[in-house]
Amino acid sequence: MCIGGRLIALTLGVLLVAPLTVRAHNESVHQRMTDYAYHVLLASARFSQGGEMSGRLRSVLDRLKQSNPSLTTFFADAAVAIPKLRALKSGLPLDPAPCITPALGALFGLGSPPNWKLPSGTNLAEVSMSRVRLPVNIHYGYGAPICMIDERYVPSGALESVNPGSLTERDYTGVTLGYWAAAPDKETKDWVLRSTTLETLQNPFVVSRIAVDTTVAVSTLCVLACGLFPPACVACPAVGIGVAGQVVDEFTSIDADSLESEDYVGLGHFIDMKPTPADPPPFDSKPAKLIMRAGPKGVPDLTEDLVTALFDLGGIHVNHAKALAPTNYQITLGASGAMGTDFHPNSINRTSSQWELPTVPHLQLTAVDNLAMFGYEAAKMNRGSTIEAKRLGWPLHALGDASVPMHTVGASGYGHRPYEDSVDMAYDALVGSGSMGASVATVRDVIQRAFKWRKFIQDWRRSHQTAEVPVRDLVTAVAKYTRQKSDAQPSVFQPIRSLQYIVDEDAATAGYDTPAMAAIQRDLLLEGIAAEVAFLMAVTEVAP
Amino acid sequence: MKPLVFVMGLMLCAVALGPTLAQTSSEPLSVDECLKTARSSATDLFTKHASPEAARLQLEIDAATCFDPSLSPGAAHLIGTVNADRARFARDFVVGSRSLAAYRAVREDRRRKLARLLADPNAQETLLKGDSDGDLVADDSDQCPNTASGAPTDERGCPDSISLDTKDHRDERELRRVLTRSQTLYNPSCERAPRLAISSPLEWGRGRQTKSHTQGFNLAVAKVDNQPPGCEVFYEIQFRFIEPNPGNPALPPTKIVTIAFSQSEDLLADPKRAIFGIPVGEMPLSPARSVAREAFLRQYFRASWRVRVVNGANKTSPWSSFITQGPASGGVDG
């Protein structure tokens, strides 16, 4: 086997896996943002109750309170929120994958799955967050060959002092909530697509001269050229191609009507904060991704051109009967013409044919504030069940997405993935985990911002005379902040980086791995975390 | 060849019943069933020597009816034509026979005309009677009846000029360069492989490389073994080196590099761990491995790293989470 495998490995650096950049790739950032937000609440609660923490952290919180006495209430409210969050059912699945590292092997036995020490007669999903004794990472429960327990987990920087202990002793409420905040990126049922023609989906080398068991690298252009119909395959001198009948023979082996992929999940994770033109009319107060309007100035970049071409070539449409997003993320909470619990008008509901007739690049998708609202309402409807925590992940996820510039202009290109990869790589440095000084400065900054968002929610509650959470307003306001900040620094949007990412991920990501970019990444990241703090606090106050 | 027989059967059914079944049957076909019929019908056309474009056009018109059986023939024809046009323009753009600027212009042309025509059922019916140059302006009102295929036109059917600026040329060059350079994997044995399991970084550090009788830096990751025999698996490992040695001020504060290994390069026969080596010494390496070796040696004290798996059908696992660690204190032998 593997004739030429080494050769392929050597050339893999210029491998095009798929130029579809619609997929979010920052699930672990979502988890860490939510965990950080929980720890800020925990620190606030401890401070309010005189609990233990590092002297430097306490001193910073003391000074904050002196400079803004209203924070006393904020800290007290956090103390009320924490036990409610810890009482949520974890909702975690039981993943039997074995642990193979020495550290985990010493705890459970090498090759054994994690021991959750569950009370007799209960399962992991049913236990409260406070009884989850191990930190799961984002891939836990998704079929990894080894257990996805994050044995290196420690709370970020100074926040470790409010959640001390060994691996099996800490409070993992934040980690588990973060796990659910990452989960929307794995909802492959959200956008089930179909192809009118299968040619671009099935590998075109149907009757090829390539030997079985051998991997070769072939030109991507060839794949695309062959895509539509065999005559175009003259562009592939090294590869033979079957006649139409044989092509169809192969095509019957895949289900062209149920295409699911994590590559498509992120299609509904945008909110376009640009002024909305009248044509085509939007279906919600804030539109979502519509490729023809992608980008900071409404002009799609080359990556969007490529994505459009691929989807059009494949005749890729939404499968309305199977895709969950059109149903879930069109929000119709009230009767016709009524307002939802957040006082937004209902979405304009589209018929199945309105969803299905255009190919995906020419379709207005659903906005991420609606995704948030769906999760919030679903959590309320499932209060006390094992689904509640999972659904709370939806608004948390939306707040994270709203803090990424490309999500606020409907852009899959313009440096989207390199930006997110860069934040993922540099996350610890961005929140100052490595030094006590930087860490307490970050905590202070987040609390000040969270207080602002707390006030935003309280003002809204007063003006609407309700105890609900203005989920869509919160997501939109964070997105607005992100948009303003990224507008002020246009180099955030680097269209060339997305194209470069296709052939050289490292160079493209390095384009965002700079001090100037780190400054804005940190600003937006902290804003998103702060909004999550305010959301978590507010959601525990919603009456059953 | 049983599937082929099945397809042939479907084709016969399609010929006999035609794609209008969705409209006439008392028990309407589901969209899936309707589309299957439409595909078979288009394939039949193609095998009877219709042009690819004609087959695709018929397929898209039939598909429009499948998505919305209540569409009038004029509306179905319009929507199908636009979807087929978009596919054709996309193909031409991708293979390089249509420039980026022309592709963008004609996309906008079709968007504008579709929006206008959808609001005008009479115009749809008129279009159905004849549009010989395919510009979505009906023959009886087309003042330029022989417009070149795929050229944007104004409302009278006369060609619009495509404005080009230097940015378009630059974008075009960049795009063609990327498409020419990019490659994808193909291995027939991976065609029906299951979804790739997720790997995870475990540890990295100096150690023996027994298989190659060398010493160097070894990278241990969780092994993925859920692929069928013959379907080769590759591990892409991305490093962001941090904390450069202060004694080496020439080092940039961070260094990002991705290296790839074939499963055949695994130094171990362990069922759960795969270990890949980067030898030190004068041995020539690929550019990426050379960069990694240089970073290890010169040196950075810690690194954030992650891994994902790719198979020969060009399918990838998700990236693992990043973990940040220094070299394993006890080394990593392979």
- In A91-219, alpha helices (H): 102-108, 173-182
CA-CA distance, A275 to A106, in Å (whole number)?
Answer: 57
User: Does A10 have pLDDT greater than 90?
Assistant: no
Residue to mutate among B30, B185, B192, B305, with most A CBs inside 10 A, is B185
Compare CB distances from B310 to A17, A221, A228 and report the shortest one's residue: A17
Residues forming a β-bridge with A316: A195
A52–chain B Cβ distance below 8 A for any pair: no
Which has more pLDDT, A322 or A544?
A: A322
B124 cis-preceded (ω within 30 degrees of 0): no
Residue to mutate among A11, A12, A301, A428, with most B CBs inside 10 A, is A12
B216 φ/ψ angles, rounded to the nearest 5 degrees:
170, -150
A262–chain B Cβ distance below 8 A for any pair: yes
Q: What is the DSSP letter of A301?
A: -
Task: Enumerate the residues of chain A whose CB falls inside 8 A of the CB of residue B94.
Answer: 221, 224-225, 227, 306, 309-310, 313
Is A196 close to B59, i.e. CB distance below 8 A? yes
Which has more pLDDT, B314 or A228?
A: B314
Task: Enumerate the residues of chain B whose CB falls inside 8 A of the CB of residue A6.
Answer: 262, 264-265
Residue in B closest to A254 by C-alpha: B192
The pLDDT confidence band at residue A311, using thresholds 50, 70 and 90, is confident
CA-CA distance, A338 to A347, in Å (whole number)?
Answer: 11
Tokens at B183, concatenated = 């490659």
Q: Look-up: residue for tokens 């027994």?
A: B210
The pLDDT confidence band at residue B10, using thresholds 50, 70 and 90, is very low
pLDDT digits 0-9 by tens, A335-344:
555 567 888 8
Taking alpha carbons only, the member of B37, B36, B54 closest to residue B45 is: B54
Size of interface A-B (CB pairs under 8 A): 314
User: Does A431 have pLDDT greater than 80?
Assistant: yes
Distance from CA of B159 to the nearest CA of A (A): 22
Is A229 close to B39, i.e. CB distance below 8 A? no
> Strands B183-186 and B300-311: what pairing?
unpaired
Taking alpha carbons only, the member of B322, B302, B325 closest to residue A427 is: B322
Is residue A380 within 8 Å of A311, Cβ to Cβ? no
Cα→Cα distances B316→A23, A418, B52, B310, Å: 13, 18, 31, 4
Say how far residue A53 (Cα) sits from the centre of its chain: 31
Is residue A241 within 8 Å of A29, Cβ to Cβ? no
SS3 state of residue A298: coil
Is residue B132 within 8 Å of B123, Cβ to Cβ? no
- Range ranked top by mean pLDDT from A298-302, A320-324, B2-6: A320-324
Vertex A260: Cα angle to B88 and A250 (nearest 5): 60
Is residue A45 within 8 Å of A152, Cβ to Cβ? no
Residue in A closest to B220 by C-alpha: A101
Residues forming a β-bridge with B293: none
Task: Enumerate the residues of chain B whose CB falls inside 8 A of the CB of residue A253.
Answer: 3, 192
- How many Cβ atoms are within 10 Å of B253's Cβ, its own excluded? 13
- How many Cβ atoms are within 10 Å of A473's Cβ, its own excluded? 18
Say what the pLDDT of residue A9 is.
39
Vertex A41: Cα angle to A36 and A45 (nearest 5): 145
Say what the pLDDT of residue B46 is.
72
Q: What is the model's pTM? A: 0.90
Is A359 close to B89, i.e. CB distance below 8 A? no
Could you give the angle at which helices A71-86 and A436-464 cross, rounded to 10 degrees?
90
A347 φ/ψ angles, rounded to the nearest 5 degrees:
-65, 155
In which element (H, E) is residue B273 found?
A: strand B273-279
Task: Enumerate the residues of chain A whose CB falls inside 8 A of the CB of residue B38.
Answer: 196
The pLDDT confidence band at residue A153, using thresholds 50, 70 and 90, is very high
Q: Flag whether the ipTM exceeds 0.90.
A: no
Is A215 close to B186, i.e. CB distance below 8 A? yes
Is residue A206 within 8 Å of A247, Cβ to Cβ? yes
Is residue A331 within 8 Å of A344, Cβ to Cβ? yes
Cα→Cα distances A473→A70, A480, A513, Å: 23, 10, 32
CA-CA distance, B225 to A143, in Å (whole number)?
Answer: 12
CA-CA distance, A214 to B188, in Å (whole number)?
Answer: 7
Compare CB distances from A100 to B38, B174, B272 and report the shortest one's residue: B272
CA-CA distance, A313 to A308, in Å (whole number)?
Answer: 8
Q: What is the DSSP letter of A59?
A: H
CA-CA distance, B23 to B16, in Å (whole number)?
Answer: 15
CA-CA distance, A145 to B57, in Å (whole number)?
Answer: 46
Residues forming a β-bridge with B260: B236
CA-CA distance, B55 to B53, in Å (whole number)?
Answer: 5
Is A213 close to B236, i.e. CB distance below 8 A? no
User: Does A205 have pLDDT greater than 80?
Assistant: no
Say what the pLDDT of residue A19 is.
36
Average pLDDT, chain A: 86
Please identify among residues 501-540 of chain A the ones whose CB lies closer than 8 Å to any CB of chain B. Answer: 502-503, 505-506, 509-510, 513
Residue B146 class from Cβ within 10 Å (0-12 exposed, 13-18 middle, 19+ buried)? exposed
Taking the CA atoms of residue A204, residue A208, residue A213 and residue A215 in that order, the dihedral angle to the nearest 10 degrees is -60
CA-CA distance, A315 to B63, in Å (whole number)?
Answer: 10
pLDDT digits 0-9 by tens, A233-248:
444 433 333 333 333 3
The pLDDT confidence band at residue A544, using thresholds 50, 70 and 90, is low
Please report, rounded to a whole number, the percentage of residues in chain A having pLDDT higher than 90. Answer: 68
Task: Enumerate the residues of chain A whose CB falls inside 8 A of the CB of residue B39.
Answer: 196-198, 256
pLDDT digits 0-9 by tens, B131-155:
999 999 999 999 999 999 999 999 9
A238 φ/ψ angles, rounded to the nearest 5 degrees:
-90, -5
A96–chain B Cβ distance below 8 A for any pair: no
pLDDT digits 0-9 by tens, A349-392:
899 999 999 999 999 999 999 999 999 999 999 999 999 999 99
Is A248 close to B43, i.e. CB distance below 8 A? yes
Distance from CA of B8 to the nearest CA of A (A): 9
pLDDT digits 0-9 by tens, A118-150:
988 899 999 999 999 999 999 999 989 999 999
CA-CA distance, B68 to A351, in Å (whole number)?
Answer: 10
Say what the pLDDT of residue A209 is.
42
Residue in A closest to B70 by C-alpha: A353
